[in-house]
């Protein structure tokens, strides 16, 4: 059995090896996780006592081309991208923003009632408010003394 003395040099070497392993792991598995940066549109969600609110950034999308649908505990966002407006003899030099149709299905933490869903679109932000059905809201149970 090899016993190594714990010195500052050994600790630095161990930390360097750990960092190298983490970098290599991230390089190998980059993009495999479903919640990666490539999911479009990016959605922020927060929950309060009344329900959940989702906000999606959709710059350049016409609100008339958006479709928000709900089935059980899945919310689906669909949209058609605006025309790119380039002529026939023009080639992209750099294209970092997406300009294609999209569909994103988001699993909700509860089965929602379609009547409790409201969507609005302002300044490129789609906001979807989903109310938690009364029967699925947490409730307090009184404890009776016997």
pLDDT by residue (tens digit) across 85-132?
A: 667 788 777 777 777 788 999 998 888 888 889 999 999 999 999 998
Which among 135, 134, 120 has a CA at the least distance from the CA of 50?
134
In a domain, 63, yes or no: yes
If one counts the domains in the chain, the total is: 1
Confirm whether 121 is domain-assigned: yes
Is residue 34 in a domain? Answer: no
CATH number at 78 reads 2.60.40.790
Nearest 10 degrees: CA dihedral of 54, 55, 58, 62? Answer: 70
How distant is the alpha carbon of residue 120 from its chain centre? Answer: 18
**pTM > 0.75: yes or no:** no
Of the CA atoms within 13 Å of residue 91, those in its CB half-sphere come to 1
Residue 123: domain span: 43-83+99-135
What are the C-alpha distances in Å from 23 to residues 17, 32, 85, 121, 145? 10, 15, 41, 40, 59
- pLDDT score of 31 more than 70: no
Query: What's the pLDDT score for residue 25?
Result: 67
């Amino acid at each position: 059995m090899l016993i190594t003395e714990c010195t500052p040099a050994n600790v630095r070497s161990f930390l360097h090896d750990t960092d190298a392993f983490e970098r290599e792991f991230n390089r190998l598995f980059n993009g495999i996780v479903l919640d990666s940066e490539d999911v479009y549109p990016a959605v922020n969600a927060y929950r309060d006592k009344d329900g959940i609110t989702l906000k999606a950034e959709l710059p350049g999308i016409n609100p008339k081309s958006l479709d928000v649908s709900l089935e059980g505990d899945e919310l689906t966002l669909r949209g058609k991208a605006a025309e790119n407006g380039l002529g026939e003899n023009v080639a992209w030099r750099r294209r970092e923003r997406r300009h294609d149709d999209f569909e994103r299905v988001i699993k909700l933490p509860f089965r929602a009632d379609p009547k409790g869903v409201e969507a609005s679109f302002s300044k490129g932000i789609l906001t979807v408010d989903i109310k938690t059905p009364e029967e699925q809201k947490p409730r307090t149970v009184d404890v009776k003394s016997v």
